[in-house]
Amino acid sequence: MNKIIYSLTLFFLLSLVFMNSHAVTEKVLYSVRIEAKNKFERTKIMNLGIALDGIGENYVESVITKEELHNLKEISSPFEILNLDSFTLDFPPKDARYHNYQELIDALKGLHEEYPELTELKSIGKSVNGTDIWVLKIGSQEENLKPGIVFMGGHHAREHLSIEVPFYLATYLLSQSQTPKIKTLLESRDIWIIPVVNPDGTEYDIENGKYKLWRKNRTHNEDGSFGVDLNRNYGYQWGREGSSQFPRSETYRGPEAFSEPETRTIRDFVISHPHIKVLISYHTFSELILYPWGYTYDSIQNQTDLSIFENMAGAMSKMTGYKAEQSSDLYLVSGDTTDWAYGERGIYAFTFELSPKSMGGGGFYPGDIIDKTVDDNIEAALYAIERAGHVGLSLYLH
């Protein structure tokens, strides 16, 4: 890595200005690369309320506000300003394949109409703005309960690729439903696809044909700002390190656990399906496979569970080429989906940070790498579906 220096004058600074749909204040964003050599230094940065978007060997990459830039200077971590140019353009033609909300729902309805005997499509709740959150169930529609697995994406608005992967996984499973391997899986598992948990934020990020680098949902906070980080709003160990109490922060955890209708929707869905054994939450980016705990540097105490997590993550790592590790080996984070799913429900839950590997590869807006990313993850998804039939409820339940 090039030598990191403090002088901002040596770098070309580009700002991204967008208009809040309910306010007229301008928000300037900076893309930065910050020196961070280990999980403790990364946690120190995270505790400023900065979302760590990309992880390198000795650095992290983030998109931050002017206020967060000031806070970053205060802790004396060396950093450099990167070029935001690629994030300030209209939708380029190469991004035409990404689904906006209505296109996604139309495509899901199309799958259901084409494969009515293998699918069930329904809304399981609504967002802050009253938008439906949809789930597509795939498999035999018999009433008897089978081992279940959930694939979800779109917790963070700007992570559009995380929506495409579960959607195209559904397309793959259905198109291959008569092949012996897939047919067996569909007959013996309940598979749920929730492509977008945060529909309001996702739509806002592409509103008016401009990328906004929006991360959170669209809750109107008491201080006039908008948004809660949904992946800091789940109830297990909520409010600890790795989340922010300040509403304007990118990692704002909300006023209380499950304050947001989106996370309550996921909570209620999971609780109502106690036969769910495995959960995969897709995010971007960094090419990682993460498992609990995130809220503490300590490992899972239950050695049987820890072995299952390590073995599954290791196997999927070989299939994807992604690096597998405990979440807190990156930095501490509290109130996230996978800690809650395992800590409260005994589900073997994993976070997949998809491609690209870094901001330099396109970050949140890498262009049309959908096919490659889906192909990279199909084998791991099939493995997880198969494994759902062989893991029981965690002994950790309490």
Active-site residue, from 74, 113, 353, 386: 353
Are 391 and 311 a contacting pair, CB within 8 Å? no
Instruction: Please state the φ and ψ torsions of residue 281, each to the nearest 5 degrees.
Output: -110, 115
Distance from C-alpha of 308 to C-alpha of 291, rounded to nearest angstrom = 11
Is 250 annotated as catalytic? no
Are 65 and 27 a contacting pair, CB within 8 Å? yes
SS (H, E, C) the chain: CCCCCCCHHHCCCCCEEEECCCCCCEEEEEEEEEECCCHHHHHHHHCCCCCCCEECCCEEEEEEEHHHHHHHHHCCCCEEECCCHHHCCECCHHHCCCCCHHHHHHHHHHHHHHCCCCEEEEEEEECCCCCEEEEEEECCCCCCCCCEEEEECCCCCCCCHHHHHHHHHHHHHHHCCCCHHHHHHHHHCEEEEECCCCHHHHHHHCHHHECCCCCCCCCECCCCCECCCHHHCCCCCCCCCCCECCCCCCCECCCCCCCCHHHHHHHHHHHCCCCEEEEEEEEECCCEEEECCCCCCCCCCCHHHHHHHHHHHHHHHHHHCCEEEEHHHCCCCCCCHHHHHHHHHCCEEEEEEECCCCHHHCCCCCCCCHHHHHHHHHHHHHHHHHHCCCCCCCCCCC
Instruction: Please state the φ and ψ torsions of residue 144, each to the nearest 5 degrees.
Output: -65, 140
Distance from C-alpha of 69 to C-alpha of 225, rounded to nearest angstrom = 18
Active site members: 353
